[in-house]
A = this chain, B = another copy of it.
Amino acid sequence: MNKIGLKSSPNSSKHDNMANAIRALSMDAVQAANSGHPGMPMGMADVATVLFSKFLKFDPAKPDWPDRDRFVLSAGHGSMLLYSLLHLTGYKDMTLEEIKNFRQLDSKTAGHPEFGHADGVETTTGPLGQGLAMAVGMALAEKMQAARFKEIVDHYTYVIAGDGCLMEGISHEAISFAGHLKLNKLIVLWDDNSISIDGSTDLAVSDDQAKRFEAHGWDVLSVDGHDAAQIEKAIAAAQKTDKPSMIACRTTIGFGAPNKQGTSGVHGAPLGDEEIALARKELGWPHEPFDIPNDILDKWRCVGTMGARHSAAWEETLKALPADVQSDFKNSLSGNLPTDLEDTLLEYKRQLSEDAPAWATRKSSQEALKVINEKVSITVGGSADLTGSNLTLTPQLQPVTADDFSGRYIYYGVREFGMAAIMNGMALHKGFIPYGGTFMVFTDYARPAIRLSALMEQRVIYVMTHDSIGLGEDGPTHQPVEHLAALRAMPNVQVFRPADAVETAECWQVALQSKSSPSILSLSRQGLELARKTHTAENLCAKGGYELAAANLDVKVSLLATGSEVTIALKAQKMLESEGIGTRVVSMPSWELFEKQDDAYKKETLREDTVRIAVEAGCSMGWEKYTGTDGGFIGINSFGASAPAGDLYKHFGITAEAIVAAAKDRL
């Protein structure tokens, strides 16, 4: 055991008024909202006070200062802890009014911390465990940026995590990954209060957390979470290790509420006026609700203003660097793409139309990435142990290892959820454009983090291959059916299902250009003929849907298809036209982008006056919007099966013949 135990010091019950200010604001705000979680902020007030006043490098006047330490409240339900700290340290937008409007519409003080609502909120938390995993992504991004800009990147990532975070499976993926890469500037403060919503944690868990973290290569320390001196010593020690650190902070949830502290009753409900009055006595805090005496506020504001010194010194260091380094650094943070990327991709597209390769779109993605990764220096690839299947690796990328963070490729291991959350953390940190691969069906494993990518409007690109029964023999557990629908249903997710190499390049371009949306690239395992043989300067996929092949005869039928089924639709078109039935094919690589087009364009693309048949090797949900309720659908509304891909397409009736029959039925 490499455990550094700190003995309980005599003043272990000490809690000063700076911490009490957090407690008071938290219990008062929750009471005013008549909703919220007072227990955690009251319990962790001492730890947070030490962290913010003695260690955290931040400047409330410059919330986006790139070299600030990151603070992640993984136990997001304790949001009042964070809001109190932001207010007390002097973040301009976190006024007392906002605190009083806790959990009200349009306030900056949402029930859980929401990225983008208030300065100083580094990430959205609440879905447990994900804050910890995103913090791992931030700590990783710091290491990687420091490997590139060592003079100006040197900051810690601190996390407050609760019992719930550590019970969630994603905590395992995050902890294991961080230990593997020895992310030593990651420091996790575990709120070890033995209480979760259902009551004592004894009801459901008996983990030896210290041993657990050690098993994954972490340093572990243990402190009385109400003893400032112990906390200070521990954080100072944690900063110096060559491993990530976990500090177990033994705390009393709801510290200060005499009748409710230490119970689940204080976890997620207001204390009530009576208990609040008693807590004020217990804490020696006679002040009115929301009233922070000037001397205490001054102390806190002093902590905040001290940050200006650090950020100013840093600015000097930055300015002393060569101009090109400064510019590289700023460009990496901006996340802007090189101006000539567009031309390069255009030329690449032109060449593709000429060469007409019949690649699987996963292969097309890799070929597009070869072009992109050459031009864009801030892309960071990776895969959840499916590198050779997802084809996410290109020759430009070297692996990131514990010894060398200068690379741009991450072996995430079999950790789909962790990968997604880590990518969120990297995107939030800034400096990189993360993309990562797994099988499309395993978007289910990563789904809670994909949702946060979308909610936080982060440019994270998911390279999801083997996107239908077309993957063949691996069978129904590996064959996505409902996944396109389930992802399209999610707000602010761009789902792309390109049909060939040209469309794949176009979709990659849109995904990279979309700075405030995550993108899902749904890619085939199987080879697909090139559908876009005529080069166009315009990025047609950017419209979401477009007429790929016009009818030669008087139009009777429109086939709306995506991805690997476009080829089948084109075949059906030929068969129908050979029977004298004018047929056009519309490729619809992205519903979301199509929805953004004007009505006239949508109308002329969908052609309501024709018989419309949708063709997609997924479930039908949502297609009625484009085909009408009298339209047809060729796809699969059941689970798949294990067999060679060709057999499956026949078995499930996703064939040109079936399309022809469905069209003729409706004429």
Contact = CB atoms under 8 A, between A and B. Distances in A.
Contacts of A201: 413
A489 B489 contact: yes
A112 interface: yes
Contacts of A171: 169, 172
A169 B172 contact: yes
Interface centre among A104, A114, A489 (most CB of B within 10 A): A489
Interface string A485-505: 110111110000000000000
Given A76-B477, A639-B492, A621 B621 contact: yes
A411 to B, nearest CB: 4
A159 B163 CA distance: 28
Interface string A129-172: 00000000000000000000000000000000001110111111
A482 interface: yes
A341 interface: no
Nearest to A182: B206
A414 interface: yes
Interface in A171-197: 171-173, 176-177, 179-180, 196-197
A641 interface: yes
Interface string A392-423: 00000001000000000001111101100000
Interface stretch (A17-25, A342-350, A440-448, A582-590): A440-448
Interface string A80-105: 00000000000000000000000111
A474 B111 contact: yes
How many copies the complex holds: the figure is: 2
A33 interface: yes
Interface string A457-497: 00000000000000011111110011001101111100000
Contacts of A481: 491
A385 B197 contact: yes
A482 B477 contact: no
A642 B170 contact: no
A624 interface: yes
Interface string A193-229: 0001110010111111111101111000000000000
Nearest to A417: B169
A621 B217 CA distance: 45
Interface stretch (A120-128, A246-254, A286-294): A120-128
B647 A112 contact: no
A486 B451 CA distance: 12
Contacts of A418: 169
A383 B167 contact: no
Contacts of A203: 399, 411, 413
A433 interface: no
A628 interface: yes
Nearest to A451: B444
A628 B158 CA distance: 52
A643 B114 CA distance: 13
Given A168-B169, A173-B169, A475 B111 contact: yes
Most buried by B among A33, A417, A444: A444
Contact of A215 (B208, B217, B386, B625): B208
Given A180-B205, A387-B198, A491 B167 contact: no
Given A198-B385, A206-B179, A111 B169 contact: no
A122 to B, nearest CB: 15
Interface string A637-667: 1110111100110010000000000000000
A305 interface: no
B176 A413 contact: no
A634 interface: no
B207 A176 contact: yes
A110 interface: yes
A372 interface: no
A642 B112 contact: yes
Nearest to A393: B198
A566 interface: no
A455 interface: yes
Contacts of A417: 169
Contacts of A474: 111-112, 126
A271 interface: no
A271 B42 CA distance: 61
Nearest to A196: B385
A41 to B, nearest CB: 16
A322 interface: no
B168 A110 contact: no
A35 interface: yes
Nearest to A478: B126
A261 B572 CA distance: 46
A197 B388 contact: yes
A619 interface: yes
A487 to B, nearest CB: 8
Given A180-B204, A442-B127, A104 B643 contact: yes
Contacts of A516: none
A1 B661 CA distance: 68
Contacts of A212: 212, 215-216
A389 interface: yes
Nearest to A493: B482
B105 A643 contact: yes
A210 B215 CA distance: 8
A186 to B, nearest CB: 15
A339 interface: no
Contacts of A412: 204
A211 B128 CA distance: 25
Top 4 closest pairs, chain A to chain B, by CB: A169-B169, A204-B413, A172-B172, A105-B643
Given A110-B475, A112-B477, A169-B415, 16 more contacts: A103-B642, A105-B641, A111-B642, A112-B474, A126-B477, A168-B415, A172-B172, A198-B411, A207-B215, A207-B217, A208-B215, A210-B215, A455-B476, A481-B491, A486-B486, A621-B621
8 contacts: A106-B643, A110-B475, A112-B477, A114-B475, A164-B385, A196-B413, A214-B215, A628-B628
